[in-house]
Structure 1
Amino acid sequence: MNLAQARAALRDARRVAVLTGAGVSAESGIPTFRDAQTGHWARFRPEDLASPGAYQRDPEMVWEWYAGRYRDVLRAEPNEAHRLLAWLEREKGKGYFLATQNVDGLHARAGSGALGGRMVELHGTLLSARDEQTGEVFPLPEPGALVTPPVSPNGHRMRPNIVWFGEYLPEEALQAAAEAFAAADVALIVGTSGVVYPAAGLAFETLGEGGVVIEINPEETELSPHLSFSLRDTASRGLVALLAPG
């Protein structure tokens, strides 16, 4: 498949499923999970900050780190890649599904999930927290008003609404994504290395049903040899090329 054929396949597709990773938000200045560990946090392993065990040992420290990341993502703005994917959702309507591994909320701020299609945040979001006793999710207050660890309206302590090491992805979101990718005429894999499962396996749901899978990534990934077409570019430039007429 070449670029012209990939454009045509996406243009004609009634059902489109998209998986996005850190490469989409990099252009908004959002560091990857590991790159976020700078300064004081550089001495910690990811497991020291993002696991149930770490939270049990020191919830104040874990919340201090997440509060900093929360402030960072609110200062960031959606970039061209976020906006183009929102535009694609508007074009495809109910036939569009977006699954993101990102936790920064930038897709939603660009309009995704509110333009006729559906969006799931597979790894959770930094913008909300979860009641430790009831499991209810509540939005976090503005950073200036955030007291950590936060307390829910029920009076219970809340934990970050993030999928940590050793935890499973939300079953309902993962099932919805698997069904959408299996039904997709075209799937886009944008800005993700393809090494984190089960999300990386979504591409094979589409391929297994005879659909087309198009990758946008500056470098070859473990998925690349199996896919229909790969664009070696950043998320925004790749989407501009893919969505161009012709």
Structure 2
Amino acid sequence: MGPGFLALPTVAGRTHVLDRGLAPDAVAGVLELTGEHIDVWKFGWGIAYLDRGLDRKLWLLREHEVISCLGGTLLEIAWSQGKSEECLAWAERAGLDAVEVSRGVVEMDLDDKRELIKRACQAFTVFAETGRKDAGTAVEAGEWREEIAEDLAAGAAWVITEGRESGTVGIYDGSGRPRQDIVEAAVDAAGIERVMFEAPRMAQQAWLINRFGPAVNLANIAPDDVLPLATLRRGLRADTAALSLR
């Protein structure tokens, strides 16, 4: 990868991409150019439910060995209507590899979330998201630790910290700055290897890389930002150049 004449950091961190409704041909182009840098492809919120190109996109993801993941909001809505079993059965028939289990939109207590994770684990890799999508709902660091511990005990493979596509909720304040107490609480509860930080903004990606190193797992990355993120991880951009300067 690359000409090979530079000494750069070895990167093992996962990159989780957010699909906001790309056409299959566009997905093919993204995977051809940057597939080696992508580990998880999430169909945001309820995109998969309406996406006529879903079957082809899932085939492309399998060809590139990228994990396909159902967005958590769709499962939340299904759960609120008493249709979580139908949603999971449909996702399994469609061929999705993973599901996100969250409670960012609906009122769901931890016991119900734990049971939903256990059920989803029967057929999928589970990404359990912590945090609320409403910026007006404050969740303290201790609550993050408790929820993450519950999610992992229920069988979640990964923890995702809420940030949304805006990067202004969850682990970020309204201006997009990281809430360090929440970030540290997530790492304390799960370990850095099992946490995926939603980081849609370049400044957030750079902050997390500088804080935890190039192997930090980053989520909700826009398809067009995959290659720029790869340069951040390798110290090929001013914001993280200290990683590669000698």
Does TM, normalized by the shorter one, top 0.5? no
TM-score normalised to structure 1 length = 0.33
Higher relative contact order (CA 8 A, sep 6+): 1
Flag the structure with larger Rg. 1
